[in-house]
Structure 1
Amino acid sequence: MECIGVASRGIVHEVLTRYNYQQWKTLMKSYLRGENLWNVVENGYASTPIDAQRDAKALHIIQLSCAPNIFEQIEHLQTAHEAWNHLAIVCRSEFKVQPHILHDVVSDFSEHKALYKFVETGDWEGTSSYLRDQPHAIFWVPPSGRTVLHVATIEGHITIVKGLVHRENQLLEMQDEDGNTALALAAGYTGNIKIAKFFINAEGGEKLLAIENKEGEIPLLLAANSGRKRMTRYLYFRTSSDVIDKQSSHNRVLLLERCIQAHIFDVALKLLESYKELPIESLHVLHELARMPSAYLQASRWQTMVDSLKNESTIMNLCGLKSKNIQGVFGYKNEFLQILRYYKDTVSKLNSSQLRDDLVYDAMLEAAKHGNVEFINDMREANHDLLWAMDNHGRDIFSYAVLHRKHNVFQLMHTLCGNKDIINYSTDMFGNNLLHLAAPLGPLSDLNLRPGAALQMQREIQWFKAVEEVVHVKCRGAKNGEGKTPEEIFIETHKELMKDGEKWIKETAGTFAIVGVLVITVVFPVVFTVPGVLDPGIPFWAMEDRFTVLIVADVISLLASIITVLIYIDLQTSRYAPTDFLKRLPIKIMSGLGFLSLSLVSMMIVFCAALGIGVVILTGFTFILLVPSQLRLLLQIFQFITANPITGHQKSTFIGRIFRKLLLLPIKACRH
């Protein structure tokens, strides 16, 4: 570990960017007040050593809390007061009120208003009639600079577009007040590929691909910026390399960045293939690759499943797709991973200083934050030192994995062999070890996926226990800079979640206990009641098979209901310690729900045996509708108990596997 990358990260939850200024301002103001530094930020400071020291500390905090592009705006400023006021100007100027694309189409002018109304509503007969009477009106331009062709393009009226171009081809090159041609509007705003194809295939239409608007952007860049995938692909293959590189290589890098942001990976891959050697400025794209959500990268995992399934019909049944679409979905190649390989080769040629200057270390931390383990693996293969990227707080990628609850990155610790000890002992600048970082409540984005506060609490304990296993024993009781141990922080930050979990369990237990009592009141009298006569002269008890089924099912339903009520009464009176949420309470919920489901099914069998085939059909339909919803919750609780995605361990027993299959059968039956 010769070099440690240092990334610009702040005290607040998210660094300052162009889009989160108001939230950042509120959080930063609270933090500075807590540190008794707000006065020097708000009013400046007198020339005393103490105030100068406080100002330097406040300025340093603000600088650390800015994203790299924002930090560049204030790095030359010497006081916190100047930096704070300058950030207000810079960030607010990023938000400019832009008129809607349809603004000033028909209103705000009186001349030729009828013509524009015909075009806007798609009335070609009215448009043609008006232009026959006033042919010069076709070139008339309102204050917005938008001709009738611009309006027809915005509204998507292909018939009027064709008619106008056939009448006057010069309309194609006319630009509005923003410098946009009709093709530019189709590319960047409407995404109407039929209209775009017509423009380009028209006489002289290919010249439109090179016309820049006032921002210096060609239609291809506008399409990529809007994330219009089909339009971007089409325009890329119609736009020559000379047009893309007309000003500088910056356009190509900008297009590459926008394609990656919009997940247009096939075009991004073509752009990379056009380079003999990637320019240094293209390394900034690494941040976009690193921020790719881990959920999007499931394509590579799906590919493994496809390769393992030899029966194509099975794949189609699983995905609900026709065979010709399978290759399009799974790809049989992952463009994202291919793009990573290009950057992997480039990164492998850079020295430590270049890696820092080009913010590659920062990209590693971004990847850890978003759970992009594919990015981390490729970059560490390019340069193993990147695995030890660290921010200004002394937090590495594993710290980020714990803070943001990214279990796939956390599992990389098992591959470190001897180097794992470095992480086990490490602490950040606030004296926090990994277990301290696992103690606070996790991100809401992770917890919202959990079925109920109790299982949220269970997942939090699983994280705490998983980290506890990898840190050194002395770290478990170590105190951070605030004098708190990990366990103290965990209990303090999870009080509300524990209350919510206890409330969720008691409400669930109360509801299911009432259902269990109702079932008992229904099935209990059946044992002591002799059924009546079904047909004249034939008592029900004479039908031995149905009578036996009725009695057995009734006894099972009664016993299962009693057990259910006893379990949920126990839940109502149980103690609720943090460790109880790990296994004891979820197992009781699962057991009670299982017995309740058994009692309900048995009760339906009792009624079916007593009343005949018509009721069998009706109750079977009811079972298909209602029971699977409860079984899904039961299966989800079971998975929480037997599987731990944080460590990658799967606790599976023979009974557990049988139970899982039994739970899945009715759910699969419903889907089919």
Structure 2
Amino acid sequence: MKKVVHKQALDLIQYVWEQVLLLDDETISCQIGKPWPLIFTAAERGNLDFLTILIRLYPDLIFKVDQNTYSIFHIAILNRHEDIFKMIYQIGSIKNVITIYKDREGNNMLHLAARVLESPSRLNVIPGAALQLQHELLWFEEVKKVVQPRHIEEKNTHGKTPGALFIEQHKEIMKEGEHWMRDTADSCMLVATLIATVVFAAAFTLPGGNVQATGTPVFLEKIAFKIFAISDAISLVTSASSLLTFLSIRTSRYAERDFLWSLPNRLIIGLTALFISIGAMMVAFIAAFSIVFNGRLCQYSLPTAVVAFLPVIFFIWQHYRLFLDMIDSTYTSRSLFKPSKSPLFSKRVKPKVA
């Protein structure tokens, strides 16, 4: 029902707008408010469908600016609306005209991307200060692609380049992101160290012991022993790898560029290795249980296996949300600004009749 109502609303907007376009320019300006506040309100709220209908039939709206000399793309940057900003890829060389707009303080489009998000509620949707900073860096790098090269190092009236403004505006969130990364790495390092210690000791205290004459394991030919040996080795290697990865996070220099790719990627690798090491450790425990009791406690095998995997399930349950958020922010979010086939000019523009 919501989709039907939404479709009906868009059809109504298009019909009304087509009727408005039959009027002269001055009357059109009065209809949507001088100086064009309707389209800027839509850009501020991220109403892509509304703007698409208006601009498709009246492309001149792209050039309109508010009292701060902000176009709809400038406002989309200030409010971090990706869908509206991506329309800039659909307007061709016109974007070279729009990107040179500056406000009264000499801020260009990249300066606006360097500012802290004006709507904190939108930034709070992203969990963790490190991921919030990563999202801000993604925006800054994307806007840098569309502005002219001279704008990258251009100073505003306060003598600040976009890069310097970004560091100044995001100083607090960088500190919070560093603390968040360090705390997360410290917690995971503790778990990885305990696992590495346990599985390393288990490798030299084999279930069933060794043959005195040859020193070979007693249950060497058993399938359960082979499963134990392989899973124990996997757990040791992955826990050591996880430990080293978290150690590299702990000793990082925490420059703003590190939050864009390096630190989140290391955290994903470390968590993945830690998940594998915990699972492999539990498999080794079940295999050792099977070897020691040699099938004499078959009725307890299934309950033991279930209980053994409870720590794995509990750990994954506690950290899977963080893991998925990291993957989404690091890999998936890179496609947020990928130019798509926008419906902006997909239909033939109807000529405006004066």
Shorter-chain TM-score above 0.5 = yes
**SS state at 1:478 partner:** coil
Give CA deviations for 1:274-327 in whole Å, capped at 9, x if unaligned: xxxxxxxxxxxxxxxxxxxxxxxxxxxxxxxxxxxxxxxxxxxxxxxxxxxxxx
The aligned residue for residue 351 of structure 1 is 24
Taking the TM superposition and a 5 Å limit, the aligned residue runs for 1:185-200 are none
Q: CA deviation at 1:383?
A: 1.6
Q: Equivalents in 2 of 1:446, 1:567: separation in Å?
A: 31
The verdict on how the C-alpha distance between 1:452 and 1:523 changes in structure 2, with shifts beyond 3 A counting, is: same
Q: Does residue 66 of structure 2 align to residue 376 of structure 1?
A: no
Q: Equivalents in 2 of 1:332, 1:394: separation in Å?
A: 35
* Gap regions ≥5 residues in structure 2: 210-216, 290-300, 341-354
Give CA deviations for 1:378-411 in whole Å, capped at 9, x if unaligned: 0112322222221111111011001111111100
Give CA deviations for 1:360-395 in whole Å, capped at 9, x if unaligned: 521100111011111111011232222222111111
* Gap regions ≥5 residues in structure 1: 1-327, 534-538, 651-672
Taking the TM superposition and a 5 Å limit, the aligned residue runs for 1:130-209 are none
The aligned residue for residue 203 of structure 2 is 527
Q: CA deviation at 1:594?
A: 0.7
Q: Equivalents in 2 of 1:374, 1:438: separation in Å?
A: 23
Give CA deviations for 1:435-475 in whole Å, capped at 9, x if unaligned: 01111111312211212111111111111110011000011
Q: Is the 8 A contact 1:462 1:646 kept in 2?
A: no
The aligned residue for residue 343 of structure 2 is none
Q: Equivalents in 1 of 2:185, 2:114: separation in Å?
A: 29
Give CA deviations for 1:613-634 in whole Å, capped at 9, x if unaligned: 3222223455445424423322
1:615 to 304, 308, 328: 304
The aligned residue for residue 634 of structure 1 is 323
Q: Equivalents in 2 of 1:487, 1:530: separation in Å?
A: 58
Q: Is the 8 A contact 2:278 2:312 kept in 1?
A: no
Q: Does residue 106 of structure 2 align to residue 452 of structure 1?
A: no
Relative contact order, CA 8 A, sep 6+: which one is greater? 2
The aligned residue for residue 402 of structure 1 is 77
**SS state at 1:519 partner:** helix
The verdict on how the C-alpha distance between 1:624 and 1:337 changes in structure 2, with shifts beyond 3 A counting, is: farther
Higher Rg: 1
Q: CA deviation at 1:513?
A: 0.1
2:187 to 482, 491, 511: 511
- Give the TM-score, by structure 1 length: 0.45
**SS state at 2:55 partner:** helix
Q: Is the 8 A contact 1:435 1:475 kept in 2?
A: yes
2:256 to 569, 578, 581: 578
The aligned residue for residue 667 of structure 1 is none
1:363 to 32, 38, 43: 38
Q: Is the 8 A contact 2:279 2:309 kept in 1?
A: no
**SS state at 2:80 partner:** coil
**SS state at 2:241 partner:** helix
2:11 to 316, 338, 353: 338
The aligned residue for residue 563 of structure 1 is 241
**SS state at 1:391 partner:** coil
* AA matched with 2:28: L
Q: Equivalents in 2 of 1:463, 1:546: separation in Å?
A: 52
Q: Is the 8 A contact 1:376 1:387 kept in 2?
A: no
Q: Is the 8 A contact 1:466 1:646 kept in 2?
A: no
* AA matched with 1:613: L
Q: Does residue 338 of structure 2 align to residue 648 of structure 1?
A: yes
The verdict on how the C-alpha distance between 1:329 and 1:363 changes in structure 2, with shifts beyond 3 A counting, is: closer
- Give the TM-score, by structure 2 length: 0.84
Q: CA deviation at 1:348?
A: 2.0
Q: Is the 8 A contact 2:199 2:236 kept in 1?
A: yes
**SS state at 1:647 partner:** coil
* AA matched with 2:95: K
1:541 to 219, 241, 245: 219
Q: Equivalents in 2 of 1:460, 1:330: separation in Å?
A: 32
Between 1:580-589 and 1:340-349, the stretch displaced more is 340-349
**SS state at 1:390 partner:** coil
Q: Equivalents in 1 of 2:56, 2:250: separation in Å?
A: 53
Q: CA deviation at 1:336?
A: 2.7
Q: Equivalents in 1 of 2:241, 2:285: separation in Å?
A: 21
Q: Does residue 114 of structure 2 align to residue 425 of structure 1?
A: no
Percentage of identical aligned residues: 33
The aligned residue for residue 154 of structure 1 is none
The aligned residue for residue 434 of structure 1 is 109
Q: Equivalents in 1 of 2:15, 2:218: separation in Å?
A: 79
